[in-house]
A and B are shown apart, each in its own frame.
Chain A
Amino acid sequence: MKIKSNKSAVVDVDMTPMIDIVFQLIAFFMVITNFEQIQADERVKLPSDSLAKPPEVKAADELVLNIGFERNAKGEITDPEAYIFYNGERIPVLKFGPSFEQEARIYKQKNQNPKEVPVILRADALVKTGLVQDLIKIAQESGFTKFAFKATQKTQ
């Protein structure tokens, strides 16, 4: 009985080291996390290049287009046709004209010239070059003039 009434039940664990570690972890995750919304589609496997550096000045508005293929779980291409993944839809590359028109209209409503809005092309490494060029041509018909290609930064 005497043992039971001992204070050992009241003695609590030393929390300090644990809290230290937990705060460290929180700080780490806070620094790592970026809440920047990236309009990236995971189906697109970008080509990589060592010269691809993130731009220093980011444009306020940009039109990001993901051009890629339907892939299965293993990453194999299931459909040879390349699509643009746009607003959750799948549009064949050469039929993207109306969407460009629509985007250009939206930018004009926001008092922005489509000429000033860069079109960022995130094309899959296996997309045909001609198709990308066709897409640029279609975009030019809607008044877009600035284009940029995206690539992942190669890490050696």
Chain B
Amino acid sequence: MKLRSSGREAEKIEPQMAPMIDVVFQLLIFFMLTLNIVEPEGDFNVNMPITDSAAQSDDTPKFPDIKVRLVANEDGSLNTIRLGQVNLGNGPNVFAGLNHEILKIIGKPGNPITKDMEVELEADYNLHYEYTLKAVSACTGRLDSSGKHIIRYIEKIKFAPPVGGSKASS
């Protein structure tokens, strides 16, 4: 009986909490300090063959390139977008318009011919990069209605030499 009672007393002994809490707080503070909030970033791949002329010579022309011309204002903002000969104008919906026109050209998304098609972007030298990127995005596809998957239009994007280069290639 005596042994048993001593055993019962042992049950009541609490484990030492203080060191654990110390360590746990240390961990907490460490993770709080190392936390850095980064916006998720994504990539747009562009094809840049080393020499344009060589690549063009061995590719048999299957489809003419879709030419997208981006015209800039003096200050680098977007003036107009021209798709081939069609002027898409300017304004908040111009990239949606470009997206729509590209869809009209390819017929339907995932069309096998899109593998052979290329978009050639020709931008003014001083155009702000964000507009170029938006144009690239408008040509590559759009998000589906759920907003999670990308419906691909044309994967291959290339760039024509910039128009009106001020101090290009030294």
Question: Chain A residues in contact with chain B, CB under 8 A?
Answer: 15, 18-19, 22-23, 25-26, 29-30, 32-35, 38, 40, 46-47, 49-55, 94, 118, 120, 122-134, 136-138, 140, 145-153, 156
Contact = CB atoms under 8 A, between A and B. Distances in A.
Given A38-B38, A40-B38, A120-B43, 5 more contacts: A26-B27, A49-B42, A122-B41, A130-B124, A134-B165
Interface string B125-138: 11111111110110
Interface string B39-81: 1111111101110000000000000000000100000100000
A130 B123 contact: yes
Nearest to B14: A12
Nearest to B134: A49
22 contacts: A18-B21, A19-B21, A26-B27, A26-B28, A26-B31, A29-B35, A32-B35, A33-B35, A46-B41, A50-B143, A94-B167, A118-B45, A122-B41, A125-B128, A129-B125, A130-B123, A130-B125, A130-B127, A133-B123, A134-B168, A145-B50, A156-B147
B150 A124 contact: no
A38 to B, nearest CB: 6
Given A29-B28, A50-B143, A51-B141, A146 B170 contact: no
Contact of B44 (A33, A145, A146, A148): A148
Interface of B: 17, 20-21, 24-25, 27-28, 31-32, 34-35, 38-46, 48-50, 70, 76, 123-134, 136-137, 140-143, 147, 150, 159, 161-162, 164-170
Given A34-B38, A50-B143, A137-B169, A149 B31 contact: no
Contact of A148 (B39, B43, B131): B43
B42 A126 contact: no
Contacts of B128: 125-129
Contacts of A125: 128-130, 133
Contacts of A19: 17, 20-21, 24
Nearest to B136: A149
What is the interface of chain A mostly: helix, strand, loop, or mixed?
Answer: mixed
A47 B130 contact: yes
A131 B168 CA distance: 8
Contacts of A130: 123-127, 162, 164-166, 168
Contacts of B125: 128-131
B129 A148 contact: no
B130 A126 contact: yes
A148 B41 contact: no
Contacts of B147: 50, 156
Contact of B28 (A22, A47, A127, A152): A22
